[in-house]
């Protein structure tokens, strides 16, 4: 144990003497959260829209009122024909046109389904999909209120349950936590381990009678602690600045974060066991772990929309499972029973990778 303490002390000395790295490791998470939260935010307010009301009855008026009252939309014109709608798209810069069919109220009372047509400007795909979701959410709640009187429904394809306002910060925070943990834990520990190989100090440690597990653990724990601090920083900012809810248990959330940290640290160790230089370790961690995690974990692009091959590929990156688990805990308020499979997958990945790196470290070539 005395050796482990000494290795930890040495590693912390390295970290505290390298002020730039320390600063980056603590500042990057804050910057990323604020950046994603404020600038890449896809929330849209007061979007210009047109409504073509073909029935002009009391229910269609009620629906229009509800759409306007949401605050997301500003109805700038009430076109009469479809060519008017085309003009609105060009001249009035509308993002969306809603066409309410004739006899809306009658259909709503007598038929099982009423179809409302939405035409959206998809030149900006993200804006279009967000606005579509808003409309769908409004229609959904409109029918819910109306259903008090009747059993009919407006046809809706999507359900929006856990993030009814499609608040984008909620989607980004789990992703940012994942990426930060990969940078701080996986990248830093793979760099620091391969640095020892590169400078030859690993040789000195190898021929010393100290237990190799101590060497590995002692090198990785400090970065796990740093990464844990970053995670807490991200969570605090998300809650305080962006009012991100944590519906589940905070302790469960932190537990899942620690398990993912173990997985990320094991990835870093396994990478450093395969390469000889810091540069290789960095390139492989960035290209082989960071980028695929950012692209395939469902954080930037929904996994369901990917080609089948990439959906399969996404499974081997721990980030996917972690994001599902913490989204469930934070947004759905899931308990451990609901997410234990994801935790088990992460833990299994961590153990396998740790085993590989420990056996590789002591193997002589």
Partner 1 sequence: MALIEVTHLNKAYGKVKALQDVSFDVHESEVFGVVGPDGAGKSTLFNILTTLLLPDSGNATVLHHDVRTDYLEIRKHIGYLPGTFSLYPDLSVEENLVFFATMYQSDIEKNMPLILPIWQQLLPFKKRPAGKLSGGMKQKLALCCALIHKPTLLFLDEPTTGVDPVSRKEFWEILRSIKQQGITVVVSTPYMDEATLCDRIALLQNGQFIKMDTPQAIISDFRGTLVSLRTPDIFRLHKLLSNAPFRCTYYPYGEHMHIILEQPLEELLPQLKQFLDQHQIQFSHIQQITPSVEDCFIEIVKNSHAQNH
Which residues would be at the binding site for partner 1 (CB under 8 A)? 2-3, 6-7, 10, 13-14, 17-18, 199-201, 203-210, 364-365
Closest separation in Å from C-beta 17 to partner 1: 5
Residue 239's Cβ-count burial label (10 Å; 0-12, 13-18, 19+) is: middle
Between 215 and 267, name the residue whose CB sits nearer to partner 1.
215
Q: Which is nearer to partner 1, 60 or 189 (CB)?
A: 189
Min dist. Cβ of residue 271 to partner 1 (A): 21
Q: Degrees (nearest 5) of the Cα angle 34, 37, 39?
A: 90
Closest contact distance (angstroms) between CB of 215 and partner 1 is 9
State the Cα–Cα distance between residues 38 and 363, nearest whole angstrom: 49
Q: What is the rounded distance in angstroms from the CA atom of residue 334 to the CA atom of residue 162? A: 12
Q: What are the DSSP E strand ranges found in the chain?
A: 47-53, 73-77, 96-100, 113-114, 117-120, 153-154
Closer residue to partner 1 (CB): 12 or 255? 12
Smallest gap from residue 14 Cβ to partner 1 (A): 6
The helix or strand, by DSSP H or E, that contains position 59, with its residue range, turns out to be helix 58-69
Which of 46/365 has CB closer to partner 1? 365
Sheet strands side by side (includes 96-100): 73-77, 47-53, 96-100, 117-120
Place of tokens 């970053």: 230
H helix runs in 184-317, sequence order = 188-199, 201-207, 212-242, 250-274, 278-285, 291-296, 308-314
* Minimum distance, C-beta of residue 209 to partner 1, in the bound complex (Å): 5
Nearer to partner 1, 215 or 349 (CB): 215
Tell me whether residue 40 or residue 208 sits nearer to partner 1 (CB atom).
208
- Least distance to partner 1, CB of residue 13, Å: 6
């Amino acid at each position: 144990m005395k050796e482990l303490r000494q290795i930890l002390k040495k590693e912390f000395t390295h970290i505290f003497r390298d002020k730039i790295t320390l600063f980056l490791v603590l500042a990057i998470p804050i910057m990323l959260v604020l950046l994603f939260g404020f600038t890449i935010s896809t929330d849209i307010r007061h979007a210009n829209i047109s409504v073509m009301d073909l029935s002009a009855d009391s229910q269609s008026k009620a629906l229009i009122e509800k759409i306007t009252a949401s605050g997301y939309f500003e109805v700038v014109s009430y076109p009469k024909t479809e060519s008017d709608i085309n003009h609105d798209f060009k001249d009035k810069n509308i993002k969306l046109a809603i066409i309410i069919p004739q006899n809306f109220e009658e259909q709503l009372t007598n038929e099982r389904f009423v179809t409302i047509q939405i035409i959206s400007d998809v030149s900006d795909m993200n804006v279009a999909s967000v606005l579509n979701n808003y409309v769908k959410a409004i229609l959904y709640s409109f029918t819910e209120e109306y259903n008090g009187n009747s059993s009919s429904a407006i046809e809706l394809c999507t359900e929006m349950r856990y993030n009814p306002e499609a608040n984008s910060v909620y989607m980004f925070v789990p992703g940012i936590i994942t990426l930060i943990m990969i940078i701080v834990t996986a990248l830093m520990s793979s760099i620091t381990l391969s640095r020892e190989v590169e400078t030859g100090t690993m040789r000195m440690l190898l021929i010393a009678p100290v237990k190799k597990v101590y060497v590995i653990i002692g090198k990785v724990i400090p970065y796990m602690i740093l990464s844990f601090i970053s995670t807490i920083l991200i969570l605090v900012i998300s809650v305080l600045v962006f009012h991100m809810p944590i519906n589940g248990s905070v302790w469960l959330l932190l537990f899942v974060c620690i398990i993912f940290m173990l997985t990320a640290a094991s990835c870093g160790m396994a990478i450093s066991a395969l390469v000889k230089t810091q540069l290789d370790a960095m390139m492989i961690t960035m290209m082989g772990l960071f980028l695929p995690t950012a692209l395939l974990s469902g954080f930037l692009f929904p996994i369901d929309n990917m080609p089948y091959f990439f959906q399969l590929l996404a499974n081997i990156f721990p980030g996917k499972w972690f994001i599902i688990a913490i989204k469930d805990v934070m947004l759905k308020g899931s308990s451990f029973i609901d997410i234990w499979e994801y935790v088990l997958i992460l833990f299994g990945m961590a153990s396998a990778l740790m085993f590989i790196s420990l056996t590789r470290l002591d193997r002589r070539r």
